[in-house]
Structure 1
């Protein structure tokens, strides 16, 4: 078993333990392996261990990786999530190659993604990004703007509104980690009453705060370094 496969198993075990602590079914939390800056071989090693969903932050790197791995056969049918900032001039390759987008923060981006989504691929799954900690340096809509943005996403014919995503301000204290995740859960539950059962995704929690996120209701956790190791290069 490779180092990636061993670390992947450890992360999966941690998710199961956190779900047990939260009295939630382990199958209710999906692991998104964040493969940014790692090549196709690293993704393939995780895929060989059963991982299917991968997150990319950089458009061209993600598109190249998708192309390199697309002909591996049905046993390696991978699901690709875009989780980085979205520039207006990069919406087309995202719409054409990815299955999910977690980082929609403006109506203009939602409109462009819908217009550029190939009909043959079906609707693009979308999460609205929330700046839950109010950090000036962070992307995402302010909590009071999220409902209107979610409505705009839901109106787009080639998008499927799935839920919310957040990257809270880092904190070492466990209680401080939980607080923004609890606020996200409350916002998510309120909007789910409006948008219905298809609004089913709360994407939050990374390597350092995954347990806190699961305890507060995360349905997708985005984990990179705990699976792939330290980043080997930066863009």
Structure 2
């Protein structure tokens, strides 16, 4: 079977499943959406009293500006653990010589993106599909199940997120004004961190460069002077770990 025949078969199946999915959960009635990469939850809502939560698996993303597709398993900035499940599509593509299912990223269009989502829906036994638009980047998801989450999880889910132009919504992080990914400046943290780790209620990702650490030590810690030198800025969690990787590896 050619790839075009295979993908059309899956796309036809998606259309049928999606129709049932929309009718059962009245998807189009929700005006707002929000997703959390850490918990892999999608929230559709009109208000706090009119909402529904779904567990999802990320398929990939389509850049409308660059006209490119990227599979979720290839996206190093993604923290969603379930993206590894999408590798089954890559393995299937390799066995059947379907190039679009093997390459991590390549020139594409939105029609391709829906084809890929339909293939994942079938392989992963999803109940539907959903697309979110974040600053020109369309993120495609396979919906796996409705989630009846407790009040504590709801509270954590609704905690403030930062909207990053490159990575979409993510947890906030704080770094000094000097840190970037063009010049090595060292990397010091308030505590040891790892991407996707759980944080205590009062904790934040915080980092600063070698010069800031020198000034901080000279002033006996963080105070008005050392903070003025650092000029702490807000970034997203993904940007934070890109900065950490660049500065730490380059220092070795």
> Shared fold by TM > 0.5?
no
TM-score (norm 2): 0.22
Rg larger in structure: 2
Higher helix share: 1
Please identify which structure carries the higher strand content.
2
Structure of greater relative contact order (alpha carbons < 8 Å, 6+ residues apart): 1
TM-score, with length taken from structure 1: 0.23
